[in-house]
Structure 1
Amino acid sequence: MGSMFSKASPEQDPRDQAQVGQKRVAGSDQEDGSSQTAGKASVSKKRFKTAKERKSHFKNTRTWTDDEPKRPKQEDGEKEARFPKRKVALLFGYSGTGYYGLQFNPNVPTIEQALFDALVKARAISKDNSTDPKKVQWGRTARTDKGVHAAGNIVSFKMQLPLTGKELVDSINEHLPEQIRVWDYVEVFRSFHAKTMCDSRVYEYLLPSYAFAPPLSNGLSDTPTSDTDVIITNHDRSITKYARVATDEERQRSEQYQISDEQLQNFRDVMAKFEGTHNFHNYTSGRKYNEQASKRHLLSIKVSDPFMIDRTEWLSVKLHGQSFMLNQIRKMISMGVLVVRHKSPLSLIERTFEDKKINIPKAPALGLLLEQPVFQTYNKKVDSRRDADEKKKKEDQPTQQKVHEYINFDANENDMNAFKSKYIYTQVFESEQQERGFETFLLSVDNSLTQDFDYLHSQDGMIPDQCIITTKFTIKQESDDEEQDEDDDKEEKAAKKGKGAASKAKRPAK
Structure 2
Amino acid sequence: MDMEEEHDGCTSLVASHCAVMAENPSTAPPEGEPGSKRQKLSTVAASDDEKIQDAAPTLPRKPRYKRRKVAIFFAYCGVGYQGMQKNPGAKTIEGDLEEALYLSGAVPEQDRGQPRRYDWSRSARTDKGVSAVGQVVSGRFYVDPPGFVERLNTYLSPQIRIFGYKRVTQAFNVKKFCDRRRYVYLIPVFALDPSRHRGEIDNCLECAERGGNVLGATGKSVVESETVVEAVELGSGILSNTESASVEEKIEKVHSSDDDGTVNVDSEKNSINGTEEIKADSLNSNTLLNCSTGSAEKANDNGDDRSHTGDETSKMMECKSNGEESSETKSEFCYDNAVRERLNRILKYYEGTHNFHNFTTRTKAEDPSANRYILSFNANTVINVEGIDFIKCEVVGQSFMLHQIRKMIGLAIAIMRDLTPEPTIETAFQKKVNLNVPMAPEVGLYLDECFFTSYNKKWGDSHEELSMKDYTEVAEAFKMKYIYSHVASSEKKDGVAALWLHCLNRHYPEADNVHLHETTDTLPSSDEKPSDAITTDE
Work out whether the TM-score is over 0.5. yes
CA distance in 1, matches of 2:481, 2:87: 27
**Mapped pair 1:236 → 2:278:** yes
Letter in 2 for 1:276: G
- Conserved 8 A contact 1:204-1:317: yes
- Structure 2: which 5+ runs fail to align? 1-60, 216-246, 248-271, 288-294, 298-311, 326-332, 515-521
- CA offset digits 1:79-125 (Å, max 9, x no partner): 99742111111111111111111111223221112111211122111
**Mapped pair 1:360 → 2:437:** yes
TM-score between the two structures when normalised by the length of structure 2: 0.63
The 5 A counterparts of 1:84-123 are: 84-123=66-105
**Mapped pair 1:444 → 2:503:** yes
Post-superposition shift, 1:453? 9.6
3-state SS of the aligned residue for 2:378? strand
The 5 A counterparts of 1:474-493 are: none
3-state SS of the aligned residue for 2:320? helix
Mark the CA change 1:461 to 1:176 in structure 2 (over 3 Å): closer, same or farther.
farther
Letter in 1 for 2:158: E
- CA offset digits 1:162-200 (Å, max 9, x no partner): 324xx2212211221211111111111111111111111
What corresponds to 2:365 in structure 1? 289
3-state SS of the aligned residue for 1:162? coil
CA distance in 1, matches of 2:128, 2:419: 32
**Mapped pair 1:180 → 2:152:** no
What corresponds to 2:424 in structure 1? 348
3-state SS of the aligned residue for 1:298? strand
CA distance in 2, matches of 1:107, 1:247: 42
% identical aligned pairs = 32
What corresponds to 2:382 in structure 1? 306
3-state SS of the aligned residue for 1:407? coil
3-state SS of the aligned residue for 1:377? helix
- Conserved 8 A contact 1:359-1:453: no
Letter in 1 for 2:470: A
The 5 A counterparts of 1:48-447 are: 82-164=64-146, 167-215=147-195, 216-218=198-200, 228-229=211-212, 232=272, 234-237=276-279, 242=296, 250-251=319-320, 254-255=323-324, 258-342=334-418, 344-354=420-430, 355-383=432-460, 386=461, 403-447=462-506
Letter in 2 for 1:334: G
Q: RMSD across aligned C-alpha pairs, in angstroms?
A: 3.3
- CA offset digits 1:447-481 (Å, max 9, x no partner): 348779999932225435971247xxx5xxx6xxx
3-state SS of the aligned residue for 2:145? coil
Mark the CA change 1:313 to 1:141 in structure 2 (over 3 Å): closer, same or farther.
same
- Structure 1: which 5+ runs fail to align? 1-78, 387-402, 479-510
- Conserved 8 A contact 1:89-1:154: yes
- Conserved 8 A contact 1:451-1:467: no
Letter in 2 for 1:409: M
Post-superposition shift, 1:305? 3.0
3-state SS of the aligned residue for 1:274? coil
- Conserved 8 A contact 1:198-1:374: yes
- Conserved 8 A contact 2:122-2:174: yes
Mark the CA change 1:247 to 1:115 in structure 2 (over 3 Å): closer, same or farther.
farther
CA distance in 1, matches of 2:419, 2:348: 16
- Conserved 8 A contact 1:339-1:345: yes
- Conserved 8 A contact 1:452-1:468: no
CA distance in 2, matches of 1:228, 1:80: 61
**Mapped pair 1:460 → 2:526:** yes
Post-superposition shift, 1:382? 0.5
Mark the CA change 1:321 to 1:291 in structure 2 (over 3 Å): closer, same or farther.
same
Post-superposition shift, 1:267? 0.8
- Conserved 8 A contact 1:344-1:458: yes
3-state SS of the aligned residue for 1:251? coil
The 5 A counterparts of 1:490-509 are: none
Letter in 1 for 2:405: I
3-state SS of the aligned residue for 2:434? coil
- Conserved 8 A contact 1:359-1:469: no
Which of these two proteins has the greater Rg computed from alpha carbons?
A: 2
CA distance in 2, matches of 1:412, 1:357: 43
Post-superposition shift, 1:249? 6.1
Mark the CA change 1:468 to 1:346 in structure 2 (over 3 Å): closer, same or farther.
closer
- Conserved 8 A contact 1:151-1:372: yes
3-state SS of the aligned residue for 1:255? coil
- CA offset digits 1:114-151 (Å, max 9, x no partner): 11121112211112211321221111111111111000
- Conserved 8 A contact 1:88-1:157: yes
Equivalenced residue count is 373
Post-superposition shift, 1:252? 5.4
Letter in 1 for 2:148: L
Letter in 2 for 1:298: I
What corresponds to 2:260 in structure 1? none
Stretch moving more, 257-266 or 431-440: 257-266
Stretch moving more, 140-149 or 208-217: 208-217
CA distance in 2, matches of 1:344, 1:464: 6
- Conserved 8 A contact 2:201-2:502: no
Post-superposition shift, 1:293? 1.2
- Conserved 8 A contact 1:268-1:303: yes
3-state SS of the aligned residue for 2:471? helix
CA distance in 2, matches of 1:249, 1:449: 22
Stretch moving more, 404-413 or 261-270: 261-270
Structure having the higher helix fraction is 1
